[in-house]
Structure 1
Amino acid sequence: MAHHLRKLFSGLFFVLLLNASAQSIENEDRSALKEFQNANVPENRFDVFFNSVNRYNQNSAYDWLDTVKVYLSNAQKTNDTIAAQLYRVMQTQLYNDLGEYDKSTALAKELYEAKDSLNLDLKKIVLDVLDNNYANLQLYDKQIEVRKKKRELGFTNNISFYDIYSNLGLHRKARNQFIMEVKPTIADNDTYGLAKYHSKVGNYLRLDNSAPTALSELKKAKAYLDVYLNDISIQKTEKQLFESDLLKAEIEGNIGKCHVLLHEYEEAVPLLESSIEVLQNSSNNNHKSEIIENTLNLADANLQLEKFSTAKRSLDIDFESIDMLQSIKRNSLLAAYYDKVENFKNAATYYKRNERIKDSLAQKQSSIIKQQLVTIVANEDMENSQRLIEEQKRINEQARSEMKAKDERINLVFISLIFTLLGFAGLVYAYLKSIKNQRLIAEQKHIIENALVEKDSLLKEIHHRVKNNLQMVSSLLSLQTKNTRSKSAIEALEEGKSRVKAMALIHQKLYQNDDLSVIEMQGYIESLINSVQSVYKKGGHNISITIDAEGTELDIDRAIPFGLILNELVSNSFKYAFPENDENGKIYIHLRKNGEQGYFEYTDNGVGLPEDTEERTHSSMGIRLMNRLVNQLQSKLNIDKADEGVRFWFNFN
């Protein structure tokens, strides 16, 4: 009998196990994109898209984008504006997931600024995407503007700066502000919230090169997460379990990186491998960067353990998007690998590649980050000042309300005496508060004024250094020209040198100006032409050049494209327009800007453009460059060919 019962229970257990396995396989094979296509209305598709636990489990973001484009096209054909709006919001998120942040930003701004305004839910999604785009594009001042809008609409209570500070390399400041703002908001029994909190603090410590302390915080985070996952009293949705797995992978990856910093490579390898495997299921752009970091640290650990082929496989992975610092680290690891396998030629190649990246890009990126840091600090100071003033107003309003409530409850018999005493006390209180407020406002005004003066000084210094760096690049190009025999290579280097000088002049004019926001174009154009003439010493000196740009001022975002366009046009005139004799040569440059509208025209009376100009447009570097620069000015380059000479013109905002 007992034997039969055992067989019966064994059979039931086997059936249950098969059912569980089949259900698990069915869940894994379930395609979010197929569920999206099976939804019968746009609103349901929108919910599937944004509520899927992992929408890229079976299909890539490119598959999703193609599908959404088809639905968007159908909605536009049927004039279904609500459906079209939903599909465009999804398209904005997809471009962000693909790392095409410029496209995503352009579409998000167009949606947000459209006349048919979005509802609050769609606005929150669009602003969240913009926030992430600007972070990845390192436009932190724009990111702050988006966060202000989110606060105005009630999506957040304040503007957080700690992640921006971390992106700028100020990890200690980021950690301190994060602890001050976030720790008070987490309940003692919120184990998942505590896991996220300690994970973030540990990561900031790791980035600040405090690996032992970071390891302690990250282990606390893992312990809290284990408690949360093992707590059967808390009902967890599929999405919560998926996010918990991602958080666990993130924590384990950071622990692995701490072990690498501490030279504990054996402990690091399994943690990094496990983290990479789980994070690959995430559509979060931050996790994509985390995967690259974990892979590079895994390669580093395997190199130190002399597992060379395994390390090389990690370094040969073709990542979709990799930033400059990650490229430098990857090149260093490749150089170390080739050193260890005694392929010194390849090792030298990667060392040189790193030097080029550091010399040509690091300084420029550093200048941009310093400039944005000044803006962010100024914004934070003004935000704090405004917060203090608003808090003071609230306290004053509350005091007045309390005073009024007390007055209404006073016994009529003693009202005149109490009213006199309260009035006197109110006057003294108001007088003292007024003095305190005036002193506080004066102090804050002084701080803001000092910050603005310091900002101007820093901006001038930044423009001066950028100009010096560009001049150094120009000198390097000149040196390369002397060591080059190829005529075509020399011409290309000279053209590059001319373009670099055009940009350097912009920054020179800016740091020489009292007003750092605009450039006076008449003087700039004259300086630019003198610079071009110095490059083309054999031509251009007899040409009559007329410049009509007196009183026209442009900001740096417009001045740099204009400088490069004009550099191309004048260079082409000097090189090609007067091949035989430039005695009667004439060039006319006209630039005007009235309010929001502007107009640019360039003409010469040379030999004009060849007959096959239209075909050359696609192959000519100069014309392609000018078309792209004019596109940056949100305009179109027009070319008029005549019997004698040529005319280029366009309007701009």
Structure 2
Amino acid sequence: MNKHIHLRMKQIFNIIFLACTIVCICFVQNGYGKTQEEINSLGERLDKAPENSTLKVDILLEYGQYCLEKVGELKVDMDSAMTFQNQAFVLGQKLGYIKGIANAMILKGRIYTEMQLKNQAIIQLKRAFLFAKKHQLYKQQGDFFIHFSQFQNNEIDGIEIKIGYYIKAIQLYHKANAHEDEATSRKMLGDYYSILGKSNEAIEQLDLALKIYQDIRFKDLQGVYNIMSGVYSQMGNYELAIKYGLLAVRTAEALGDESLQLSSIYNKLGISYLYLGQYQRALESWQKAATIAEKYQDADYLRIIYDNIVNAYSGLKKFKLALKQLIYIEKNYPPNDYHTRLMLQYRYVMLYLDLKQYDKAKPHFQELIELNKDTSKDIINQMYINHVAIRYYIETKQSDKAYSFLIDQDKISRSVANKKMLYENYLTWFKADSALGNLSEAIKHYKLYKVYSDSVMNAQKAKQISNLQIQFDTEQKDKNILLLTQKSELQNATIRNDRIIKIISISGAFVLIVLLLLGYNRYQLKQKTNLQLEQKQKEINLQNELLKRLLNEKEWLIREIHHRVKNNLQIVISLLNTQSAHLKNQDALEAIQNSQHRMHSISLIHQKLYQTENLASIDMKWYIEELVAYIKESFNVDKKLSFKLSTDDIHLDVGQAVPVGLIMNEAISNAIKYAFPNQKGEITIELKKESEKLCKLLIADNGIGLPEGFDVEESDSFGMSLMKGLCEQLEGSFEIQHQHGLTLKVIFPINFELTR
């Protein structure tokens, strides 16, 4: 997990600098984009409007706005927009239409802005504001602050000024009852707050925007859902991030939205998937985002999408593909500002570290440190630099240089209130302390890591319990509804009987009395039966509730035991690792490493048991893959040896899984250490069902085999004795063959008592 901390952490702010731009583009397209049918309708309305009317002023302004917002920014469109604006302004003055005059003045300022005539745009917008203020036109005053904010940059200082403008605009829109404008401004304000890392303020504004949109029945809600998804990701609440991301996708697709906004939605959805470790889904989301973004050819935005795809490839451990993608980005979308230059070097360092090519990582890291000298130490860039520096110094055995970056990263993690980031930083800190022999500090930071990681896990468990309680309550309601239905059917039967009695009563008083007595008697019997059924149902419900509570408590205790056993084993492994840093005796070091491997093989079993619903058995296919991956990483044999795995769908209980895992650990470790001196080779691992009740474990290598004269039966080595003893524990047979290498075969009966 530590290996990819930077993947999760980096995504918090991955598209943050372009979020404002994208939302603005989408706002324009959703608010003012016209279909051909709407354009034709607009032309018809203009032709039919009375010559000297305020309606014609409004339609002229709408036409001018359409020309301004057309894709392409052609000069002919700007000229047309200015023509319609002038006509509306002149007619508005002639009619004394104050609102129309103010809107025409604002439109002219916007046209100047689009034509890159900044000074003229500022003068025109200020004139419009003074005119609107004089005539107490609150909406138009709000429009001034929104459009005037565009002259600020998208750096931290510029965004803070924009926030002030948007707060003023919201107050004015609220005063003017301009609900849609107020909601849109709150949405943008929430986006700006998220850029500054003020997540709580952002969610507050976005919730208000969503409520206003829903009150006025505004349908294009994908934009606000999209921003909410990004903010919840920033806060570390990935489930809500996924929820709002999928809401944004469904809403956009339902409305036929194919704009750049849909690309942004897929982009943020991919980020949320990445947080949860679902790299393939993240890759698919980003590929969809890239397909849409290619249509618009926005270089800055495409650079971000392709950078995210690099992330996905890294998460899938396809490092060469990720490096190829990064080279493509540098060639086709070269960095054009400080942040993109920093991110490019950051990516190169991380990928070369993943590939263990430290010599190639070094020049990129040095350039990154040089870039760090020029930054204003804003929180976003500093997070990237901290992560790359911590990882680089630890992996290149310079742990002492990582401390200043660890301290700074701790402060940043606390400021954004992300517990996941915090405990991952403490785990890295623990490793740095261990490498330098600072045992007291290592223990301190490991305890902090456990406190925060357990806090996150407990929160997740509490949510699972809540969901189970809701499910249980729903089932109880269904049972109550069924009981009420039965009562209703009984009552209907009684009514039908009463009707029959009334018809028969016409035949005679005697027959009437008899039938009434029979009917009354039957009614009493049914009532008595109903009471008995209800009493039995209550008893059954009480027993079911008691049994479920006992079962939940039992499962919870078992899961907690496995969790604590796994944690204790991990602590022992970590302490052995720390102790090994101070030993020089090779035999002692090897003994400690062997003990670590054995404990890790047991720890994997307990980890799997408390993380899954099945507390009785282990999926051996998963376990063998995880154990082999761990051993390969421990002995660093990726290039030297290959592993061939063949495993049936076999589940074993803990009593059998532990000895099988220890036998595998011993056999594979011995093969790696002794079977292939200065040569490449292959290790084959099979776990097959020999029959319905028997299982065969085979571990073979094509190495040099046993030395001449070596007698397996007479061997007194600890590893061989351990494997024989474990085989006896399994009540199985133990056989070693040494032709063309060494083959170990264990056949043992499967214990079905707990696995079925």
TM-score for both structures, normalised by structure 1: 0.41
Max Rg structure: 2
